[in-house]
Structure formats: structure tokens, C-alpha cells
Amino acid sequence: MFETLKQINQKPEVFAVDTAPRLWDDEHTSRQMLHFHLDDSVDISSRNSAFIEASVEWMTGHFNIRSGTRICDFGCGPGLYTTRFAERSRSVTGIDFSRRSIQYAKETAARKKLDVDYQQQNYLEYRSDRRFDLITMIMCDFCALSPLQRQTLLNVFHRHLDTGGSLLLDLFSEAAFNDREEGAAYEHRLLSGFWSAADYYGFVNTFKYDREKVVLDKYTIVEAFRTFEVYNWLQYFSFGVLKSEFEKAGFIITERFADIAGKPYDSESHEFAVVARKASEGDSVRG
């Protein structure tokens, strides 16, 4: 018991373990996630539909989305943005490794008679001859990736974004990091049965990595006959750190906002959004 508790409360090396597929594609948790995506009363795995509507309206004007605009949404989930994009453009791609979300997105497209190219796969491994005018990654998913995964993803973006195209993504800020606190708690059926259909005790340990500006919510789920862990990493960014990470990958940040609906940038806000384009020769920043 003491050794088990010691292990549960042990702080791992930053980004040492990747359990993202378990969180998003497990039979039980993916059902719970889909419920959160579609629940308009909580902004958990997706934002509410009023925000999404306003955001897509803003993007339509800002990026001049029209019938021929080639758009790709990385981590599209159940297609809440791709469906709306496809009502404006006939060239929309959505990538997500959650079988359940892609299934839901495909059913929505079929019902609405929309043509969307859905790819159920790991977006870090996306390879295609296609080039896009707009690439999006929404709901701060970039922050869940390790530095190496972000580098891989930025290379994927770079390969698939056309010259003159735009990349839009949102991120957690350093102000949000400062408001996080370390803690440890446990509860019978933590998060009301979110983690398993079986009876369980759920432990959640929150660790802060001050130097790296990373927070880990480590979940340990103990059932009668199995124990498993889920590691939710979040990287928080200052604008300067993000800018230099983007520049190393060959991108120039051209605009920043408080959110992906075009709200003016605010350094105190917990989230911010950036628009980037591929650096051209004259910019000479690719490291």
C-alpha cells in the first residue's frame, strides 16, 4: 500500500509518458469525450456552439474562406468546425485519431450532404500531396504535445501549408500557468464514472514544472482487477517562446488575438491565438 501510494504521488520527468491515445480512443473514455464535445453547457473538450459559430464566422471573413479555399483541421474531433467549414468550402479535410469522433463527424457530413475528407489517424504521421490555404488546430491541442512532438507537427504543417497560406491555433498562456496549483486528491468514481464503466477509485496528482512552464494532471485509476494511468500534459506559452519555436520551424507569426474568434490580444488572458505563415527567403529565420 505504501509503495503504491508512493508511486501514485511520484512526479515524473517532464513529458516522460504519452497516454493521449488511451484518453481519446479508448472505448469508454471516447464515449465520455464525445458527450463533452457535444454538451453545450461545458467548454471541456470543445467550446460551446455559440462560440464555434462566432469563431467560424470570424475565420470566414478573416481568411476569406470561399468555395475553393482548401482547409485542414488537425484534431478535428467530431467535426464541429469542419462541418461549418464545409458549408462554406468544398475542400475540407479533418484529421483525428479518435474512431468515435471521426465516425460521428462522417455521419454528420452524410446527414447534411457535405463532402468532407475525414482521416482517422495520428496527425503527427499525416503525409499527403495535398496543400492547404488554411490549417487550424483548435482547443489548445498544441499545448498537449511534447517539444519533440511539436517539432514534428510543425514540420507536418510546413509540408502541407501552401505558400501564402495561414496557420491558426490557440494556446494556453503563462498567465494561466501562474494560476495553476499543485495538488493531490482521490475520489470514488472520480469525475462521475468518466474513467471506467467498472467501479474504481481515481487519484489525481497535479504537478507543476516551473522552468518548463508545464503542468501535469496525472490520473491513476484503480479498479478491482486493473490499475491504469493517464497523463495530461499541458505546455503554457509566453508569446516570445512560441514565436521562437515557430521561427525555428520556418514560420512567421503575423497576428495574435485573445481567441480564435478574433478578440483583441490581452497579455493577462489565459489563452491566446496566433496566425502564422511560412517564412519566405527574405525572412531568413529557419534554423
Ligand X SMILES: C[S@@+](CC[C@H](N)C(=O)[O-])C[C@H]1O[C@@H](n2cnc3c(N)ncnc32)[C@H](O)[C@@H]1O
Residues that bind ligand X (CB under 6 A): 20, 24, 37, 45-46, 75-77, 80, 95-98, 101, 122-124, 138-139, 141
| Cell numbers given for 223 | 479498479
Give me the least distance between CB of 37 and ligand X, in Å please.
6
> Measured from the CB of residue 127, what is the shortest distance to ligand X in angstroms?
13
Closest approach of ligand X to the CB of residue 101, in Å: 5
Q: Which of 53, 100, 58 lies closest to 76 in space, CA to CA?
A: 100
Name which of 97 and 172 has its Cβ closer to ligand X: 97
Cβ atoms of residues 13 and 207 within 8 Å:
no
Minimum Å gap between C-beta 282 and ligand X is 33
Shortest Cβ 152–ligand X spacing (Å): 10
Our CA dihedral for 34, 38, 41, 42, rounded to 10 degrees, sits at 40
Q: How far is the CB of 53 from ligand X (least distance, A)?
A: 13
- Closer of 24 and 172 to ligand X (Cβ): 24
Residue from 92, 159, 171, 169 nearest 129 by CA = 159
Q: 87 vs 199, which CB is nearer to ligand X? A: 87
Q: Which is nearer to ligand X, 8 or 23 (CB)?
A: 23
What does the block give as the cell for 34? 464525445
| Strands laid side by side in the 183-188 sheet | 183-188, 200-209, 214-223, 227-235
Which H or E run contains 151? helix 147-160
Give the up-direction half-sphere exposure of residue 269: CA atoms within 13 A in the CB hemisphere. Answer: 16
Rg (CA), the chain: 19
Compare residues 56 and 161 and give the one whose CB is closer to ligand X. 56
**Which are the contacts of 98, defined by CB distance < 8 A and separation ≥ 6?**
24, 25, 30, 33, 77, 120
Closer residue to ligand X, CB minimum distance, 123 or 272: 123
